[in-house]
Amino acid sequence: MSSALEGKIALVTGGSRGIGAAIAKQLARDGANVAITYTSAKDKADEVVKEMEAIGRRAIAIRADNLAAEAMDLAVNETIAKLGGLDILVNNAGILHTGPIEDFTLEDFEQTIAINVRAPFLACRAAGRQMQAGGRIISIGSNLADRAPRPGLSLYSMSKAALVGMSKALARELGQKGITVNVVQPGSTDTEMNPADGAFADNQRARMALPGRFATPEDVAGLVAWLAGPGAASVTGSVYTIDRGSNA
């Protein structure tokens, strides 16, 4: 079993399912002790924790409502208190609202910004106060930040584009402390949010330079784990798109 992250402590937001769960388990396989956050799926979060504990890692699940402004401060503090520090932060939790702009409500806007932008910002703020040199911050964005292939994506694309601007600026700021900050932008990935047999799946596959299938959560997790590890020590302020060439 790889030990590239042996002794490291990671926090993965939204780690109870999909891409977040795959990231948490990959970091654990690479040697990290891992905290995950969840909103309501406690049973799924507990399953992920048990899988990580089964390979000898320390792991905890933290209930955190990303709509609450204090949630990320509390999650970071609990991770440090129970696992002994924080070396890796993965901002993964997110929400997707789609539709014509004229149909969006103010509640839709505020919820999207709270979960997709404010929560990662506050998590980065809390982590930046605690992390030492060698720390890693990785935010999960979307290839839809670069290009919207169909109508109805204005709110979601805006929120994911905000992660890029924030991360590039934080890379400059936190680099003074030896902390790297990067973004991973998945494209069509087979999850509950965007299943490979969903209504738009055929159109998504048709745009891929590597046709035939969606990416898997494990594909994304592998890239995140590399960015979290020693091989990416000189990588910061960068955006990695993993979408099987959908933007090619």
Measure the CA–CA gap between 91 and 105, rounded to whole angstroms.
25
Q: Judge whether 58 and 50 are in contact, CB under 8 Å.
A: no
Of 180, 185, 89, nearest to 134 by C-alpha is 180
Name the percent of the chain in helix, strand, coil, to the closest 5.
45, 15, 40
Angle ∠(34,74,226) on CA atoms, nearest 5: 30
Strand, helix or coil for residue 154: helix
Q: How distant, in Å, are the alpha carbons of 82, 97, 168, 236 from that of 172?
A: 30, 31, 7, 8
Active-site residue list: 156
Q: What is the CA radius of gyration of the chain?
A: 17
